A and B are shown apart, each in its own frame.
Chain A
């Protein structure tokens, strides 16, 4: 059995990717079990998805703690999520990144692979320039580096099941397969004996409810930030009223100020602002 774990953010297509992967594996004549897990349903929130591939029915329905392959759709997740937690020694880490594989580390040894899926998605107009949907480019790269499913089956699944722009997505998958780079990595130190509890896992095992935003770091979900043009702002307070996260304060003159600790970058304020005084700007 091959076990794959995906890490992405709401809106990047991790959920659709897990469905497409199950379809592609099925077209190859194998059994797949593919499911996403999200703690909250918000654009930008971390999403984990799991896929098992086998030749016979799968007698297991639980999270994948020790994957053979980890796929990271958003390199920003590497900052605060231990995405390689539990990755088997000799396993494969595939990251959406313009950098060479050598820019990343894999202390336990295995294979590093990178593909610039964001550039591919923008180029193929999959999603929008500010919110590219990288899933199909990543799946193309995954097919090429693992060989766990055929690129032909992946393209067949994309054409059959991607609801909008299937041809662009198919092209993105091909680009992903053609441009993925991989490098074997030797273990950086003597491998420690495998321990059940050793590696922290990149999904919540325990209670995470009732935590305020400054502990949960929900602002890390943000890919766009609102910027207010004070010359246009009429101080109407619509941004404050519509913000679902109470992320606005006012300065001494009554102009709105964004509390970036709480802002998740949803853009509702920019949509609702009567004088169009708010622009959503890509986070560096």
Chain B
């Protein structure tokens, strides 16, 4: 196929097409809309042979996908912000029923106040629902991650749902060149879904029905065990994808110039790209800094974080959302992962880019300077330290 100019939303749709999804159900919401518009066009033109089910809400969209997946179909849906929140009940159903499915989520701020900018509060609010979570930084990574996510979740040892996110506008509406793999390559990597359906017409079986305290815990424990198998399995899946596509996604935590670094900043999503450029600038002026992109938030890559932290004295974690009463969600996970390790680094929680606030190189320079010079562990709201433009009171 070769390179195409795609938006992040175009990359999601292109990946779903290459994965030959069979059932699509979605409800439009800004900034996700162009994903499902593109898929509707593909289905209407016959380019993609799938059932496109129109629904009246995100809750129903996920229910359609759940039912279709239980019958053995490969499904796709996409949403954002308030739409994901409305899906919340069924997110638990998806993991509890061990439903392999992939959901595209455009990360958008949660209301109020109403805001359509990039922010991770929507997906971070779903961290305990038993879904695998990926946070790509480029449209190429969006496409590659959707394809590897299908292969991962459909593995019989996993059978869990996954969400592949994109920062609103910074990916969803950004056009850039994307290397689109040949359909033959994808077909070999991702053969048709193993049709060992949970439900089959004519066979009496039950799914998700009443289970008392005698066995409920076994179901929950099985979800936990499956989640523990995700990271080793992801390594296998990504290695095979790299062999076939030539692109190495790098696992759950991708470090950059972390060797001999005094301070390392962990980032999620698109801020990672800008942070890499700032690390280069600081390195060229003699400052020993590095960064690491947290690609997978669930399951949390505890071992990778410990390995990164071994030779670093200061870790910063930059979150694009806040857990009220605590810190940035990734920061608290990093602290938890490092509890009990010998001579751990300090961990500072930074918040930036909330509600679509732009995070440019000068903002990240301030983050690195704070990380190198201060012993405060935050949480530090970087957005509030810049000139606020129009100031609002009340």
A: residues with CB less than 8 A from B are 15, 18-19, 22-23, 26, 31-38, 40-41, 58-63, 65, 196-197, 203-211, 215
Contacts and interface: CB of A to CB of B under 8 A. Distances in A.
A197 B388 CA distance: 12
9 contacts: A19-B5, A22-B176, A33-B176, A34-B175, A59-B280, A61-B170, A196-B362, A206-B386, A211-B392
A211 B390 contact: yes
Nearest to A35: B174
A209 B388 CA distance: 12
A209 B115 contact: yes
Contacts of B115: 209
A36 B30 CA distance: 13
A206 B113 contact: no
B3 interface: yes
Contacts of B358: 62-63, 203, 205
A162 to B, nearest CB: 14
A26 B4 CA distance: 8
A60 B361 contact: yes
A36 B270 contact: no
Interface in B10-34: 30
A32 B362 CA distance: 22
Nearest to B280: A59
Given A34-B174, A205-B357, 6 more contacts: A22-B175, A35-B173, A41-B116, A205-B388, A207-B388, A207-B392
Interface stretch (B73-81, B225-233, B271-279, B313-321): B271-279
Given A33-B176, A36-B173, A59-B273, A210 B113 contact: yes
Nearest to A65: B360
B304 interface: no
Interface residues of A: mostly helix, strand, loop or mixed? loop
Contacts of B368: none
Contacts of A63: 358, 360
B273 A61 contact: yes
B391 interface: yes
A184 B328 CA distance: 50
A19 B174 CA distance: 8
A65 B359 CA distance: 11
A26 B280 CA distance: 26
Contacts of B390: 204, 206-208, 211, 215
A197 B362 CA distance: 11
A39 to B, nearest CB: 8
A149 to B, nearest CB: 13
B169 interface: yes
B5 A26 contact: yes
Contacts of B277: 59-60
B378 to A, nearest CB: 21
A19 B271 CA distance: 22
B322 to A, nearest CB: 15
Closest 4 CB pairs of A and B: A206-B389, A206-B388, A35-B174, A22-B175
A211 B358 CA distance: 20
B192 interface: no
Contacts of B357: 205
B324 interface: no
A61 B174 CA distance: 10
Interface in B171-185: 173-177
A196 B362 CA distance: 10
A26 B173 contact: no
Contacts of A33: 174-176
B176 A36 contact: no
Interface string B62-84: 00000000000000000000000
Interface in B352-394: 357-362, 386-392
Interface centre among A23, A34, A58, A209 (most CB of B within 10 A): A209
B361 A62 contact: yes
A32 B176 CA distance: 6
B270 A23 contact: no
B177 A32 contact: yes
A18 B273 contact: no
Contact of B274 (A31, A35, A38, A60): A60
Contacts of B216: none
Nearest to A201: B389
A60 B389 CA distance: 23
Nearest to B279: A59
